[in-house]
Amino acid sequence: MKKNEVKKLIKETALKETPEVFAKIDFKNIEIPPYENKKEIRDTRRRIPRLAWALASVLVVVGSIFTYNYFDQNKTSDIVMASTEEVLGFPIISSSTLLNEFVVENIANLSTSEYLRYGNNNTNENSEEDELLISSQNESLNRYVNMLEILIGDKTNLKYEMNENSNNTYELRYSTIDLIGNSRTYKAYINEIENNQSKVDYTGNISIDNNEYTFEMEQLKNNNAEQSKLRLYYNLENYVEFSDRTVGKKRYYDMSIYYQGVLQEQSELLLTLNKGQVSASLNVSKNGVDSEYIINKQENKIMNIDYTCTSNSITEKGNINIEAKSEQNGQYYYNYLIKSGNATINSRGKRSNK
Amino acid sequence: MKSFDDYIDLMMNKDEAAFFEVYQQTKAGVYSVIASIIKDRQAIEDLMQETYIKMLKSLNQYQKGRSFTPWLLQIAKNLALDYYRKHQKEVVMDIQENEYLFTKNQVNENQEIDLELNEMLSSLTIDEREVVTLKIVSEMKFKDIAESLNKPLGTVLWIYNKAIKKVKNDLERRKLV
């Protein structure tokens, strides 16, 4: 029996047993006293800790960068992720940011069209966008761009730290720098629940954009490979599966997004490290189109993608430059400059708050 | 989608539809909290009614911006505990009786069994039941559970994971699933 079945059973039993008492409550005749003194505590109670937390995060990030540079300036490694913190942390951070994008688009009652205004800024009046295969992948690609913005680039900016609290409970902290140049910190809690000769089992949670995700992770103990499986949930029907099937120095991941219990999208991610830069190679199959993206981040300002899209016998190659730009209201979006053959398209995609 | 704070103002203005919405979203959580303390079905129903009536009469004391669900569930818990103290002999929190219930329901493996919530959670301590109920039935976030129980987030996660494992092992041991 799986734990999810236990959770489902508890939930279903509670719902089934719950008696209906609404009709017995004489709402109209209940006297509800007026407010004596309305207090809204959010502003006063929460702003100060948030500010303190933000300042502390900045200090930690700056301190971490300084310390790392001081001790590791002569150290080079072509292993993209080697430490326990990285091996555990990357699947958690990446799957939660990916699922969060999906949740915002599909679950939280927000229509995609409000967010993704891909193609609205065409520089060409003939709307070449419609003729490009890449246009059919805009929604999917934008989701991965949101995810990878904080996960690739200069490796010295990508910091995974883990501290043990108590009872085999760990706090994972990931700090990074986004495309605008802002430092970002993500925090997850991890419980080690079983540790035997062949594997370690973890559970935990992470919050992003006020959405909370729980996860279960299994890490196999194998001398030849560090492999793990993770399932990260928004709820029982909406989740991401993330498998680390790395052997050797390159890191391979399989990612699957499930919406309402049905597999929506599968992708493969390969991470490589070259001259201190972490790059991604992503393969996605969607709507009958197989897409391959080679993604680099340049100086925390631009993401550059070389892509190949294949559908039936048609193959399209091109290049995309992505920058984060600001609207008049201060909201950032992704500006896509797509070049393929003679076509040049300027369009935009939603950038989440991170 | 409206937040509970939006419904508060509407309920204060005697909007029954708003109350119905709050009731629908919280009734399973309220039930689970009470049922983890009290067994008598009629008493549970009475206490559920009492919980909502007390909530309505105390709305002016609720501070907007705080989590509504933990506040409501605390009312339910206090009422159930008061009832328990007054009617200790009639209330079942007795492991031996629960053992009996399990034995009674333990039929052949292929037969589907209707378990009661109390039976399902009988292997848990009060703390564990509370965390499991808040998370699974009331669908609260761990950070809100930690805040409402005044426990560190890591501890709440630990309690929750340990409790789920206990329930799973217990159900498997009894071959009820």
- Look at chain A and report how many structural domains it folds into: 2
- B92 pLDDT above the threshold of 70: no
**B52 contact residues in A (CB cutoff 8 A):** 21, 25
| B167 → closest Cβ in A6, A36, A193 | A6
Say which residue the tokens 């150290």 belong to: A75
Interface of B with A in 94-153 (CB under 8 A): 115-117, 120-121, 132-133, 136-137, 139, 141-143, 152-153
Alpha-carbon span B23 to B53, nearest angstrom: 11
Same domain, A165 and A268: yes
Interface of B with A in 10-69 (CB under 8 A): 11-12, 14, 16, 19-20, 23, 27-28, 31-32, 35, 41, 44-45, 48-49, 52-53, 56-57, 59-60, 63-66
Chain B: residue whose CA lies nearest to A41 = B65
Which structural domain range is residue A47 located in? 39-70
Let me know: does B119 contact B106? Beta carbons within 8 Å: no
Give me the sign of the Cα torsion angle A152, A153, A156, A157: negative
A163 and A52 share one domain: no
A259 shares a domain with A219: yes
Q: Is residue A231 part of a domain?
A: yes
What does CATH list as the number for B4-89?
A: 1.10.1740.10
Instruction: State whether A43 and A126 are in the same domain.
Output: no
Q: Per the CB < 8 Å rule, is A204 touching B157?
A: yes
Interface probe for B, chosen from A17, A96, A210 (most Cβ of B below 10 Å), is A17
Residue A3 lies in a domain: no
Cβ–Cβ below 8 Å for B53 and A3: no
* B143–A193 C-beta distance less than 8 A: no
CB atoms within 10 A of CB A34: 8
CA distance B125 to chain A (A): 16
Short-list A61, A4, A302, CA closest to A185:
A61
Q: Between chains, do B117 and A10 touch, taking CB under 8 Å as contact?
A: yes
Q: Which residue of A has its CA nearest to B27?
A: A18
Inside any domain, residue A168: yes
Whole-angstrom distance, CA of residue B18 vs CA of residue A91: 41
Residue among A105, A82, A53 at smallest CA distance from A155: A82
Q: Mind giving me the DSSP string for chain B?
A: ---HHHHHHHHHTT-HHHHHHHHHHHHHHHHHHHHTT---HHHHHHHHHHHHHHHHHTGGG--BTB-HHHHHHHHHHHHHHHHHHHTGGG----HHHHHHHHHHH---TTS-----HHHHTTTS-HHHHHHHIIIIIS---HHHHHHHHT--HHHHHHHHHHHHHHHHHHHHHTT--
Q: How far is CA A230 from CA A220, B37, B175, in A?
A: 11, 36, 28
Does one domain contain both A275 and A158?
yes
Q: What is the pLDDT of residues A82-136, one digit of tens each?
A: 788 888 899 999 999 999 888 777 765 544 434 444 444 444 444 444 567 888 7
Residue keyed to tokens 């489902």: A8
The reply to whether A48 and A122 lie within a common domain is no
Do residues A244 and A91 touch, judged by C-beta distance below 8 A? yes
Of B59, B120, B172, the CB nearest to A9: B120
CB contact under 8 A, B57 and A30: yes
Same domain, A52 and A187: no
What tens-digit pLDDT sequence spans chain A (354 residues)?
Answer: 777 788 888 988 888 889 999 999 999 889 888 876 544 434 444 444 565 666 666 666 655 554 544 444 434 346 777 788 888 899 999 999 999 888 777 765 544 434 444 444 444 444 444 567 888 788 889 999 999 999 999 999 999 999 887 777 889 999 999 999 999 999 999 988 888 888 888 999 998 877 889 999 998 877 655 678 999 998 888 899 999 888 777 788 999 999 888 888 899 999 998 889 999 999 998 767 889 999 999 887 899 999 999 887 788 999 999 999 998 888 899 999 999 988 888 888 888 866
Distance, in Å, from the CA atom of B36 to the CA atom of A19, rounded to the nearest integer, reads 15
Nearest to A25 among B35, B52, B63 (CB): B52
Q: In chain B, where are the structural domains located?
A: 4-89, 100-173
3-class secondary-structure state, position A223: coil
**pLDDT one-digit tens code per residue, A223-242:** 655 678 999 998 888 899 99
For the domain made up of B100-173, give the CATH fold: Arc Repressor Mutant, subunit A (1.10.10)
- Is the same domain home to A46 and A122? no
Mutation site for A-interface testing, chosen from B12, B20, B32, B155 by largest number of A Cβ within 10 Å? B32
DSSP string, A99-135: HHHHIIIIISS--HHHH--TTTT-SSTT-GGGG-GGG
- B contacts of A53 (beta carbons < 8 Å): none
Separation CA A319–CA A341 (nearest Å): 10
Paired tokens of B128: 């564990």
- pTM reported for the whole predicted model: 0.58
CB contact under 8 A, B136 and A14: yes
Which among A23, A47, A70 is the end of a domain?
A70
In a domain, A18, yes or no: no
Q: Give the distance from residue A151's alpha carbon to the nearest chain B alpha carbon, in angstroms.
A: 25
